[in-house]
Structure 1
Amino acid sequence: MKIFDIVQLNFKQLIRDKKNLFFLLLFPAVFMLIFGIGFGDNVESDVDIAVINHDNASGVNLGNELVGVIKDFNSSENESLFTVHEVSSEDKAQKMLENGSVSTILIIPQGFTSDMGNNMSSLGEIVIKGNPIDADYGIGSSVISGIVSEFSKQIINKVAGQTIPEIELKYEDLNISSSSTFDLYAPGLIVFAILMTITVVASNVATEEESGMIKRLRLSKMKTRDYVLGNLISWSFVGVIQVIIMLLVAILVGFKWEGGIYTLFLACIVGIVTTFSSVAVALIIVALSKNAKQASSISPIIAVPLSFIAGAFIPLPDCVIATINNQQIQIYEILPWNQAITAIRQVLTYGQGLDAIVMNLIIILIMGIILLGISILLFNRKISREN
């Protein structure tokens, strides 16, 4: 019953406090509108491609030569058409394609150079991957096709007395539905709304503590974990509302929602478990603050930078801390909000199911439990000192 009372109290306070309602719902929605209008139909001036060069020949390396030709290729305005990202693994390139860092993947096979010397029936098979409805992929794959054709002719001319067919191109059209920059930004903005929960929860809890309400609740034999659980339940409902409202605003300005109600349900699940971490951070802020004013001032200083670090607004650079099973782990991937952005993008932007986000949910839950454990310990210690 005590937990239900906390849930009821939080909803009453939220409805009465127009300022907190603004920060939770309207403020993130305004961001969504701005990004939707600014990036909904955005087309980059150059084409970003990821190149995986498996050609390991020493001395003359045709794979390296081909990459150099692509880098130096100029558009009609005498500017480089391609921005080439040389990456070490296909998994990493696939991630870059999914998060919008690149539009095209080019894979040069192992033995690309040695095949010419061995007079094979083909100089090798180069793979081009991308989203068939992405305009940049259409431009990139078409231009690369011409570059590779001309490159193979030059090689043939250099090899006297040998007949080597042109390089074969294999196209793999990937089922990635996003066709605008905004489709990739929108999930990050949804998580930004959930991160703003930190500011409201910190303000509410600090005010309750300063007014003596928490002390009175503890006199009724309420434990700290009951208070935390009541906040988790109430703010998780708010997290679901945030996901739905932000999605509706995103659709209004051109977001292409994939997968229907099922993927919305999955996104709401992600929103709920991610809210746990936001509530935990808010409680930690209150536990470490001297008063309500300080907690209210510190919380946005924490929440806004976390939004950038988690990748809510811009693609994040490589910052590898470990490699597991040839999979590079970025330092920001330990943040539950970064995992939430990836998960929501998978379900709402790409229309994927539960199997695509299971690992993301596990990481979000693990980090949320760790943060909640820390918050309960610190918050309980502070309350005990004051008693």
Structure 2
Amino acid sequence: GEINLTDLKMQIYEEIVYENSSTNMFTLSNATAEEAMDLLKDQNIVCVVTIPPTFSEAVESLINTTVRGTLTSAIGEGAIPPEIGAQLPDSGKVTAQVLIQGDQSYMTFGAVQSMVIGIMNAYVEGVKSEAIVDIAGDIPGIPTSSAMEYIEVETENIAGTGDSSIFDYFAPGIMVFGLLLGVIAVAESMAKMVEDHTLSRLKISMMNSFDLLFGSLLSWTLFAGFQVLILFAVAVALGFNWAGGSTSLILGLLVGCVVGIACISLGMLIAAFAKNTEQASSLGTLVSIPMSFVIGVFISFPPGLFTKVIAVLPWRQGLLSLHEVLTYGSTLEEVAPNITALVIETAILFAAGVIAFSRFRLKAE
């Protein structure tokens, strides 16, 4: 019967382990093209490897050509009698192109891409060697033609980012990093209101804590909105090419504003526990800078428990949303789960900030 060489090839990847270890090097998932792209955008997988339907036939062509070339290399193709030549396998003409797709901003992709290509090349060379040993192990004259004329491997950026640069992948993260720096300014400003006794004077007025905090939220949200516009303008000036047109731009700006509200809420929470302006500034720096690394602004983390844990942070959801909208050109429906999580997590953080600041800074003396 026929052997499905595609399944055999996948079995090889599944069984590969690290040296001196029983840990598998790859974890494979079968999915449709659309499902694979969604997994890739959410960084649940490192890369997408598409093996065409002609792969088994291409390997068969490779074997036949290798065997025929080996047997005829010693005396020449034209010197073989027709009756003998008819019994030799015909040189195949079927080829296959294996496609590897991934995100260039994902640090692991470069390493995995190289390993996948290396294993593919080793597999092809192994097929050639085994065919030669089985059919004509004692006959000299192994063909020198490249096996990759039958099995080719091509690497591509994910759909819609073929003309993208590395900066296009990092620009959304840089925007989130810029917004996170606003945590320091908010914490300092709120702490200064306490230090200058502004809140003490407000306590004897008709203004309640909600009026103060909601008013502060509005002003800082406007500031965050302008900050998003400035960050985006600078990114475009530096060569950022976003995908999806004006719709993606508007959606990206709205996501940026929600991320800004999350930063304001965090600054408010820090100010609630800071004793003075200097301490608020230090705590803001201590929290916001490491946070940018934790959520993956500068370093992409491989799928696993850690990525699931940091998914509860609104800045992580904001970063994923900006990546999908601006880098991949995703629609609102496609990015809705991330945006929903971002809004819910931001609302919880804002409520925590309001409660903490009201309790520790606005309670009656």
Pairwise CA distance, 1:133: 11
Amino acid at match of 2:101: G
The answer as to whether partners of 1:149 and 1:167 remain within 8 angstroms in 2 is: no
Query: CA 1:217–1:266 in structure 2 vs 1: closer, same or farther (change >3 Å)?
Result: same
Distance 2:134 2:255 in 1: 58
TM (normalized to structure 2)? 0.66
Paired position in structure 2 for 1:198:
183
Alignment of structure 1 residues 203-214 onto 2, 5 Å = 203-214=188-199
* Partner in structure 1 of residue 145 of structure 2: none
Instruction: Give 3-state SS (helix, strand or coil) of 2:159's partner.
Output: coil
Match of residue 219 from structure 1: 204
Higher strand share: 1
Task: Give the match for residue 295 of structure 2.
Answer: 310
Q: 1:286 to 1:107 in 2, by over 3 A?
A: same
Aligned residue in 1 for 2:334: 356
Q: Which residue in the other structure is 1:339 paired with?
A: 317
Q: How many residue pairs get matched?
A: 293
Alignment of structure 1 residues 65-76 onto 2, 5 Å: 65=12
Q: Is the 8 A contact 2:225 2:260 kept in 1?
A: no
Q: CA deviation at 1:202?
A: 0.6
CA distance in 1, matches of 2:209, 2:30: 48
Whether the 8 Å contact between 1:103 and 1:130 is mirrored in structure 2 is no
Q: Which amino acid aligns with 1:177?
A: T
Structure 1 SS opposite 2:99: strand
Counterpart contact for 2:203–2:362, Cα < 8 Å: no
Q: Does residue 291 of structure 1 match 2:269?
A: no
- Structure 2 gap segments, 5+ residues each: 1-5, 60-95, 136-148
Q: Distance in 1 between matches of 2:275 and 2:178?
A: 26
Q: Any residues of structure 2 matched to 1:1-387 within 5 Å, and which?
A: 63=10, 65=12, 86-89=26-29, 94=37, 97-98=40-41, 104-106=47-49, 128-130=99-101, 149-154=124-129, 174-177=158-161, 179-320=164-305, 330-385=308-363, 387=365
SS in 2 for 1:379: helix
Letter matched to residue 193 of structure 2: E
CA distance in 2, matches of 1:254, 1:384: 46
Contact 2:190–2:268 under 8 Å retained in 1:
yes
Find the aligned partners of 2:154 and 2:288 in 1 and give their Cα distance. 43
- RMSD over aligned CA atoms reads 4.4
The structure having more radius of gyration, on CA atoms, is 2
Is residue 236–residue 272 contact of structure 1 (8 Å, CA) maintained in 2? Answer: yes
Q: Distance in 2 between matches of 1:346 and 1:167?
A: 36
List runs of 5+ in structure 1 lacking aligned partners: 1-53, 56-60, 73-83, 117-124, 161-165, 322-328
- 1:309-355 Cα offsets, whole Å, 9 max, x none, are 1111111244416xxxxxxx621111111111111111111222211
Letter in 2 for 1:106: V
Instruction: State the percentage of identical aligned residues.
Output: 28
TM-fit CA distance, 1:188:
0.5
Give the Cα separation in 1 of the matches to 2:42 and 2:338: 15
